[in-house]
Amino acid sequence: MLYLATHGVTWSDFSELLRDKEVISAIKLSVGTSLITLVLVILVAVPSGYALSRCRFPIPAFFNTLVDIPLILPPVVLGLSLLAIFGTPAGMWIRRTLQSYDIELVSAVGIVMCQFLVSVSYCIRAAKASFDEVDSRLEDVSLTLGCTPFQCFRRVTLPLARNGLIAGCVMAWARAIGVFGPLMVFVGTSARVQVMPTAMWLELSIGNIEKAFVIALIMVAIAGSALILVHWLVPGRKWS
Amino acid sequence: MKNAVSIKNLTLQAGDFNLGAIDLDLAEKEYFVLMGATGSGKSLLLKALCGLHPIKSGNIVLSGKDVTALPPRLRKIAYVPQNSGLFPHLNVIRNISFSLEVGGMSFKKAKHAIEEIVTLLGIEDLLERAPSTLSGGERQKVALARTLVMKPNVLLLDEPVSAVDEPTRKEICNDLIQVKDRIGIATIHVCHSKEEAACVADSVAVMHDGKIISRGTMDELCRQHENPVIKRLLDL
């Protein structure tokens, strides 16, 4: 904000930049794809987190490493990994199958793949931590009170882990909406796949600093809101 | 007459600890107290009866029905764990009506169904409160009410008064006697206290190192001075 103010960008310039077609398109694509990613992340992370928390795996280090790999790999390497996967025979088959339905990887689909890969580990870790905090004795009691294992999960485990799960989802969504490196490698920067981070980078690269800063401000606002939501949900809101 | 509980040759393993073989029969409406030092396997036995811990061998028969292979929900065994196990995200009335709602009863009907037990235990004023606002004694009463509304065949109480003060302990013991007299349900009550056992028990057994080493009335056990485990446990 300070940068824009000191470089002669007035409020009307700022609001005009906010209404820019490319900016709006990037916001729409970012929000749309990240919400789809969020749904996929929830579908994968909640059962995975629960399994990691409650099940005994034969080689726990292997499964934990598998979950943690996306957290520690450089983002560009994640994009390269996706390229490599779709270069294998199985990947080529998936690509051809998608193409037969007129679905290209260099589209929202590719964006969702990158966002998913980058954010799913955060949510799995958060889900595992939330489920770890649920007292397993309460689950035992619910089973003796007539619950099936699924009813126990729905009526006891899930409500007790709710705050941590929501926080994990918010963090994963914020991570997804800010993904940059894998997108550059896997889907590129063509106009139809420009989300906020790639649009910001492109504006920077052509010297349109003000527009880049406007997009950056929107991303800061999103990240800030997500953090506020997480801090509001997690501390001091335990059940007992 | 059929036994309410009949355990034959029950064995199980938990880490390095081996339980059994346990043979135990409880008559209908019998109030049975299981005593033993910490780590003797009392709580583990209760969990095995509920189906919450897998067993290695043996049979568990409740009111003539072999429940050994049944999941916990189909055994009709009510279990109150050491910390009362109230669900912190539900208020007291929702905790008590939990088993009825899980079984498909509407909350409105469940409210009616729990009235008798709530009145018997004198917890009418607690219904809208959150479990975190209850005292230790109140928590145990609510946990007891929650298990009784499901009309179980057997009631398992794991140290129900271990975390309360002396007056509350007496009050809960009185409640348990009332429940025994009014509802008459076969009960296994795990505890450490001789006074507590004497207050409620029809029969008492002592468990040591995963095995039941003695069983009888409280007076009979108190006469077993020669057994060092019983002597130490009952402070003879």
Size of the A and B interface in Cβ pairs below 8 Å: 65
Indicate yes or no: CB of B79 within 8 angstroms of CB of A144: yes
At A237, is the pLDDT very low, low, confident or very high (cuts 50, 70, 90)?
A: low
Within a domain: B14: yes
Within a domain: B41: yes
Nearest CA-CA partner of A123 in A233, A17, A37, A203: A37
Name the residue range of residue A96's domain: 2-233
Cα distance between residue B193 and residue B161, in whole Å? 10
The pLDDT tens digits of the residues spanning B113-123 come to: 899 889 988 89
Within a domain: A124: yes
| pLDDT score for A49 | 93
CB-CB: which of A137, A151, A159 is closest to B102? A151
Within a domain: A240: no
| pLDDT score for B151 | 87
Indicate yes or no: CB of A137 within 8 angstroms of CB of B81: yes
Indicate yes or no: CB of B99 within 8 angstroms of CB of A156: no
Interface contact A146, partner B, CB < 8 A: yes
Within a domain: B22: yes
Q: What is the CATH number of the domain that holds A193?
A: 1.10.3720.10
| pLDDT score for A240 | 42
The pLDDT tens digits of the residues spanning B25-57 come to: 888 888 999 988 888 888 889 999 999 999 999
Within a domain: A238: no
| CB contacts, 8 Å: B75 with chain A | 144
The pLDDT tens digits of the residues spanning B171-214 come to: 888 888 888 888 888 899 998 888 888 888 888 998 888 888 88
| pLDDT score for A239 | 47
Within a domain: B217: yes
The pLDDT tens digits of the residues spanning A116-167 come to: 999 999 999 999 999 999 998 899 999 999 999 999 999 999 999 988 898 8
Interface contact A144, partner B, CB < 8 A: yes
More confident residue, A45 or B21: A45
Cα distance between residue A200 and residue A214, in whole Å? 9
**Interface pTM (ipTM) of the complex?**
0.89
| CB contacts, 8 Å: B51 with chain A | 143-144
Chain B residues in contact with chain A using a Cβ-Cβ cutoff of 8 Å: 47, 50-52, 71-73, 75, 77-79, 81, 83, 85, 87-89, 98-99, 102-103, 131-132, 146-147, 150
* R_g over Cα of chain B: 18
Indicate yes or no: CB of A155 within 8 angstroms of CB of B102: yes
Cα distance between residue A64 and residue A61, in whole Å? 5
Within a domain: B123: no
For residue A65, is pLDDT > 70?
Answer: yes
CA A220, chain centre distance (Å): 16
Within a domain: A239: no
| pLDDT score for A235 | 57
For residue B149, is pLDDT > 60?
Answer: yes
* R_g over Cα of chain A: 21
Interface contact A130, partner B, CB < 8 A: no
Question: Which residues are CB-neighbours of A146 under 8 A, at least 6 positions away?
Answer: B73, B99, B102, B103, B150
Within a domain: A71: yes
Within a domain: B185: yes
| Mean pLDDT calculated for residue range A11-17 | 79
Cα distance between residue B173 and residue B157, in whole Å? 12
Total domains present in chain B: 1
Q: What is the CATH number of the domain that holds B30?
A: 3.40.50.300
CB-CB: which of A140, A145, A240 is closest to B98? A145
- Vertex B143 angle, CA B142 and B147, to 5°: 115
Within a domain: A216: yes
Indicate yes or no: CB of A144 within 8 angstroms of CB of B132: no
Name the residue range of residue B18's domain: 5-83+154-233
| DSSP run (H or E) holding A216 | helix A209-233
| Minimal CA separation from A141 to chain B, in Å | 7
Within a domain: A210: yes
Q: Which residues pair with B187 in a beta bridge?
A: B31, B155
| Mean pLDDT calculated for residue range A226-240 | 67
| CB contacts, 8 Å: B48 with chain A | none
CB-CB: which of A148, A156, A239 is closest to B73? A148
Total domains present in chain A: 1
Question: Which residues are CB-neighbours of A33 under 8 A, at least 6 positions away?
Answer: A108, A111, A112, A115, A176, A195
Cα distance between residue A229 and residue A233, in whole Å? 6
| Mean pLDDT calculated for residue range A76-101 | 90
Within a domain: A142: yes
| Minimal CA separation from A77 to chain B, in Å | 43
Within a domain: B61: yes
Q: Which residues pair with B26 in a beta bridge?
A: B5
Indicate yes or no: CB of B146 within 8 angstroms of CB of A145: yes
Nearest CA-CA partner of B90 in B116, B115, B127: B127
